[in-house]
Homo-oligomer: A and B are copies of this chain.
Amino acid sequence: MVDTSFFKNNGPFDLKKIASITDSVLKDETNGSVQINDIATMDKAGSNEICFFYDKKMKEKASEMKASACITTNELASLVPSETAVLISENPKIAFLKLNLALYAEYSSEAGISSKANIHKTAQIGQNCSIADFVTIEEGAVIGDNCRIEAGAYIGRNCQIGEGCRIGVNAYVSYCIMGKNCFIYTGARIGTDGFGFDFIDGKHQRIPQVGRVIIGDDVEIGANSCVDRGALDDTVIGSGTRIDNLVQIAHNDKLGMGCICCSGVGVAGSTQIGNYVVLGGQVGIADHIKIGDGAQIAAQSGVMRDVEGGAVLLGTPAVPFKDFMRQVAFLQKSIKK
């Protein structure tokens, strides 16, 4: 049961409305007026609650279902107990997402600018923004309409933040041009100096980092992740890319559109990553390499060379998935001799 002290419940909805929201078909139309208050997992859903059944591993447990309603596929529907109203969906996973979005909302701060924020007089704040306490917005920064800047966040000089962005608690954004509808999570650090030095007279002398961070639309950058600004060129994060927590993106990196970077990923500097690339957790990518569109690098892998589009790699150094599995099998066999 979703905790309504944390999330706003827009229900109850009847099953007729739920069928419409989720693009599903109610098997028995006489159930159209059944009231649903909540969504829950298959094993926990009870009276006036709806669950979703699409994982075939759960087949054996289907008969124990206690939910008032269940959205499932045509194929799995016969396994649902007769007491449970059935809605048929082509994709119950997406139906779940749609109902979830309709039924629940996060509590969000109201529009308004806190008197405890520090906003430079030359900064421009759009319509209907929420700017919380202890926020700093520096000279010349431009914040689009409908943005939400949370407590203690920092927006540096002359940054441009597109409309509908959310900048989380204590996040840091500098030297950055950001598109629309981005979400920078709490503690993320955008626009810090790249890690570049020349060794002169026994010292690592810092190379000035005079590039920027360019972020597309609808980008998420997770909690405590870091995106360094470019050295001379820019660091670029393409639209629709999702970056998890504790990820490092170094100076001059270019990430394409719709990429996924799981937690703990580190991408060294000046690397080019195509569109829809997936980097699993704790993956490391060397500097100055190219990764083609749609490549998938499994968790903990280390990539030292260019990767072709569509490749599926694993290991350090990363090799094709099958080769890795063969290496593992070979090693296991060898030590048993």
> Residues of A at under 8 Å CB distance from B?
2-3, 5-7, 39-41, 93-94, 96-97, 100-101, 104, 107, 114, 116, 118, 132-134, 136, 139-140, 150-152, 154, 157-158, 168-170, 172, 175, 185-187, 189, 192-193, 195, 197-198, 200, 202-208, 210-212, 218, 220, 222-224, 226, 228, 232-233, 240, 242, 244-246, 248, 250, 258, 260, 262-264, 266, 268, 281-282, 284, 286, 299-300, 302, 315-317, 319, 323, 326-328, 330-332, 334-335
Contacts and interface: CB of A to CB of B under 8 A. Distances in A.
Contact of A2 (B97, B222, B232, B242): B232
A328 B118 CA distance: 56
24 contacts: A2-B210, A2-B232, A3-B212, A97-B198, A97-B205, A97-B207, A104-B208, A107-B139, A116-B118, A118-B134, A136-B151, A151-B154, A154-B186, A168-B172, A189-B245, A192-B222, A245-B248, A246-B246, A262-B268, A282-B284, A286-B299, A319-B332, A323-B332, A330-B331
Contact of A327 (B202, B300, B331): B331
Given A263-B248, A332-B319, A200 B327 contact: no
Given A185-B192, A195-B262, A300 B326 contact: no
A100 B210 contact: yes
A246 B248 CA distance: 7
A260 to B, nearest CB: 7
Contact of A226 (B104, B224, B284, B323): B224
A258 B309 CA distance: 39
Given A195-B262, A205-B97, A187 B185 contact: no
Nearest to A93: B198
A186 B198 contact: no
Given A104-B210, A204-B260, A222-B226, 12 more contacts: A94-B198, A94-B200, A172-B223, A228-B245, A250-B263, A264-B266, A266-B281, A266-B282, A299-B302, A300-B302, A300-B316, A327-B335
Contacts of A6: 157-158, 175, 210, 212
A169 B172 contact: yes
Nearest to A118: B133
Contacts of A210: 2, 6-7, 100, 104
A313 to B, nearest CB: 14
Nearest to A234: B3
A51 B192 CA distance: 24
A334 B328 contact: no
Contacts of A41: 232-233
A323 B335 CA distance: 7
Contacts of A268: 262-263, 281, 299
B198 A218 contact: no
Contact of A263 (B197, B266, B332): B266
